[in-house]
Amino acid sequence: MADEDGAVAAVNVEEVQRLVTELRDSSYSRRQAATKSLLALPESSRVVLSDLRAAAPRETSERLNEILACLYERWFQQRLQRLSALPADSSRGEVADLPDALRLEQHLAADTAGTPDAPGSLPSDLLDTGIESTEPRSVLLHLLRAESEVFAASIYQPGRLPELLEHRSAKLALNCNGRADQPFPTASALALMLVASRAELRLLRKTSSNVSRPLEDPRFDQLLQSGRNRGVLRSIVSEWIRRPGISADRPLIFAIRHRLSAGRDVAVRVLQSEGRGPQVYFACMCLAALGSSQDIALLESRLQSTQVIWPPRGAVANDGAVDSRLQVQTRDAALAALVHLRQIPPASVGLKLTPSRDELYRIDTVGAISDEIREARIGEYRAKTANP
């Protein structure tokens, strides 16, 4: 571990033990002096302090927890200072024990094209909240600073991460309000997606939903289309939506809208697990939107599924313009996707599909009012695709 100057500081174990012992001294001044000295310790004392905390009496252990919380923040900020002073092509171990930062560097390195500003690119002070550079080290530092408490916990207190992610993602969700007169919290959104993407990390309660909230914010859409760092955004979002166990609806709609290839992984997972509800529809439409012809066999295997995926149970499809008998079954969605992938004119199989930005086709134009109509459509499709 390194001190403020980057050199590894030696630890006087006996001195640290003495200071910890003095935390329970009867003299207030000695306790305060011990606390002050402990708060000045370098990061190389981390293991010693952790061991002493584990063996200390309850009151001393609680006081050490408070001291360590302050030390973790200071040590992490010192890492950031050293990292910012290093050459752009060197991290010199400052993030070597921070897997999320190493993964971020990989995302940044993958964006070697740099996604140069396209005509009409959004100014960083409007939406990128200070990420003014496409230089990888600058973006790395900005994300680390935006969620420093989360990244620090990744190093020093990994057991805190689930609860901390729940708290930070709730704050992020509140800021995903779509207001064009306010900047979008880009750095926090990307940092939380990056950390929460870890498959082995247990996410609490609403964390998954909160982390996905940026996918519904039109400002985030703009950033992916014309922001300075859109390549990095696409890469990190793709890793997030691939995470097993998250609710698939928002990621699939987002993948359709932005033609993210990661959507295929989500869509295939939904269909292979025989998911339920509208996510099945979005999965079929995502495969179609991405031109995923390698999944034609998977979609055709769903032409027998009579599971109702829309309208939701208890809801009525009739909004004044839609026949109240209309339902969308899994086989309806699979057929619409297959027609799109095989470039078959929809009308030739009895479909009148209305295009949609978020769903490829409007869901109420995919269904049918009777099984007879469905079977006739599927029959027409099979006739057109039968081998000669």
CATH number of the domain encompassing residue 13: 1.25.10
For residues 216 and 321, state if they share a domain: no
Residue-wise pLDDT for 203-214, tens only, equals 998 999 999 999
Task: State how far the Cα of 205 lies from the Cα of 87, in Å rounded to an integer.
Answer: 41
Residue-wise pLDDT for 126-167, tens only, equals 344 545 555 677 788 888 999 999 999 999 999 999 999 999
Task: Say if residues 178 and 219 touch (Cβ distance below 8 Å).
Answer: yes
The answer to whether position 344 is within a domain reads: yes
pLDDT bucket at 117, cuts 50 / 70 / 90 = very low
The answer to whether position 257 is within a domain reads: no
> What pTM was computed for the model?
0.84
Determine the pLDDT at residue 120. Answer: 41
Q: Report DSSP letters for 28-95, one per residue.
A: HHHHHHHHHHHTT--GGGHHHHHHHHHHS-HHHHHHHHHHHHHHHHHHHHHHHHHHHHS-TT--TTTT
The answer to whether position 320 is within a domain reads: yes
Mean pLDDT, to the nearest integer, of 57-62?
A: 92
Residue 8, pLDDT > 60, answer: no
* Number of domains observed in the structure of the chain: 3
Angle at 314 between CA 308 and CA 316, to 5 degrees: 80
The answer to whether position 193 is within a domain reads: yes
Sign of CA pseudo-dihedral 27, 28, 31, 34:
negative
For residues 151 and 242, state if they share a domain: yes
Task: State how far the Cα of 292 lies from the Cα of 275, in Å rounded to an integer.
Answer: 19
Determine the pLDDT at residue 110. Answer: 66
For residues 160 and 243, state if they share a domain: yes
Task: State how far the Cα of 175 lies from the Cα of 115, in Å rounded to an integer.
Answer: 26
Task: Say if residues 37 and 19 touch (Cβ distance below 8 Å).
Answer: yes
Of 322 and 11, the structure prediction assigns the larger pLDDT to 11
Residue 313, pLDDT > 80, answer: no
Between the CA of residue 215 and those of 28, 192, 385, what are the distances in Å? 53, 13, 37
pLDDT bucket at 247, cuts 50 / 70 / 90 = confident
Ranked by mean pLDDT, which of 80-94, 172-186, 341-355 comes out on top?
341-355
The answer to whether position 260 is within a domain reads: no
Residue 320, pLDDT > 60, answer: no
Determine the pLDDT at residue 123. Answer: 41
Q: What is the mean pLDDT of the chain?
A: 86
For residues 60 and 28, state if they share a domain: yes
Whole domain around residue 341: which residue ranges? 278-385
For residues 198 and 295, state if they share a domain: no
Mean pLDDT, to the nearest integer, of 86-111?
A: 73
pLDDT bucket at 182, cuts 50 / 70 / 90 = confident
Residue 106, pLDDT > 70, answer: yes
